Amino acid sequence: MARGWTSGWIRALGASRWFFFAMLASCTGGAKVSSGGADAGGVPEPATLSAAAALGEEIFHDRSLSASGTLSCSSCHVPDHALAGGDGLAVPLGGADGTRQGLRNAPSLRYVLYTPSFHFESDGTPVGGFDRDGRAVSLRDQARGPFLADFEMANADAAAVSRRLAAAGYADEFRAQFGEHIFEDPAAALDRALFAVQQYEIEDRQEFEPFTSKYDYFLAGKVTLSESEARGLSLFNDPNKGNCAACHPSAVGADGSPPMFTDFTYDNLGVPRNASIAANADPGYYDLGACGPLRTDIAEHTELCGAFKVPTLRNIALTAPYFHNGQFATLERALEFYVRRDTHPEEFYPRGEGGQVRKFDDLPPAYQVNVNRTEAPYNRLPGDVPALDAAEIADVISFLDTLTDGFQP
């Protein structure tokens, strides 16, 4: 559920930015405004990157840093798709020859810098962390994984990354920034490369935090929503209908901070098993999110088995397919799953030998109790009326389309 700490976290990251926009609002009749550069709801000023961040941009787009020579950070985090996957595949391809399937759908990196470090709230609620399971403790730590994962860039170790960096066209700039002998210490070279990528993600606001969606302009009082978009926003916020805002807050913070459309908590939705993922051919394999297989430090929290971090919905129209396993190819189908999972489970799950619906088929029976069945729209039974009908789903999608950056008023 949405929590008050969220705006506090954003305030801690960028108090000066929100102060500026609050002052701007006072000069425009009190209209709500959001981050976006010199003018709220406008295009951020072109970034003047530090030397480290400029190197980070080179590294982010450099395919030669992978074992196959075909994969870079931007291969799975495509700028035209809000830094999410752009190939339509459920999970990306990587590995030493570029053909090995990964395990999870590539998430968007836009607005990722607003993610808090992983922690448990006083009531035990898990919050934050990078990657879909929150295992990475920082942007730098998150960037490390793809360089070394055998199903991604597939470098054997830091030495392999260092050799590739030393052969890159920007190697001289790397030495000038981090020391003439940096490549003699592979661990240090990898660490500096990760630092550079982190700085790029922080400093290039146009790419990583533009705040230029129609909804940002709407919050700034500069445009109005269409009738369908307004209906969709109402349904999105209504706790008895979509109830989306319970986990994807849509309101400006009390301090003027723009909504992130995630509360950074974790949820278990019982998403159907995706047969197109090669790992799922093993009937004993399950992706349990926060408690494995990629994350192992909180495995004792079995109540989190099957839970994944709530993603931002900003730019959601550009980031198909959806959910951690890329199960649904369209927003329409994803929303149908939300509202019809419990009323019409046969539409999403396979049937067993006896004809019964095998609901929550991507979780071991022992962990199916963890699936969210209490909050709307999941609090329904077979035969009940779904929380949203087809026309209402269309309106919610109209609203979600307003969250795409690059809107031209």
The domains of the chain are located at: 1-45+213-409, 51-207
Q: Which pTM was predicted?
A: 0.90
Q: 202 phi and psi, to 5 degrees?
A: -80, -40
Residues in the chain: 409
| Structure letter (DSSP) for residue 297 | T
Fold of 51-207: Cytochrome Bc1 Complex; Chain D, domain 2 (1.10.760)
**Does the structure show a pLDDT above 80 at 80?**
yes
Q: How many helices (H) and strands (E) does the chain have?
A: 12, 6
1-45+213-409 against 51-207: fold identical: yes
Confidence class for position 246, pLDDT limits 50, 70, 90: very high
Residue that the structure tokens 């909050």 belong to: 375
- Number of Cα atoms under 13 Å in the Cβ half of residue 249: 18
**Does the structure show a pLDDT above 90 at 92?**
yes
Q: 71 phi and psi, to 5 degrees?
A: -125, 130
Return the CATH superfamily for domain 1-45+213-409. Cytochrome c-like domain (1.10.760.10)
Confidence class for position 9, pLDDT limits 50, 70, 90: very low
**Does the structure show a pLDDT above 90 at 18?**
no
**Do residues 177 and 51 touch, judged by C-beta distance below 8 A?**
yes
Confidence class for position 42, pLDDT limits 50, 70, 90: low
| Structure letter (DSSP) for residue 124 | S
Read off the pLDDT of residues 315-363 as tens digits, 9 standing for 90 and up: 999 999 999 999 999 999 999 999 999 999 999 999 999 999 999 999 9
Read off the pLDDT of residues 285-324 as tens digits, 9 standing for 90 and up: 999 999 999 999 999 999 999 999 999 999 999 999 999 9
**Do residues 91 and 277 touch, judged by C-beta distance below 8 A?**
yes
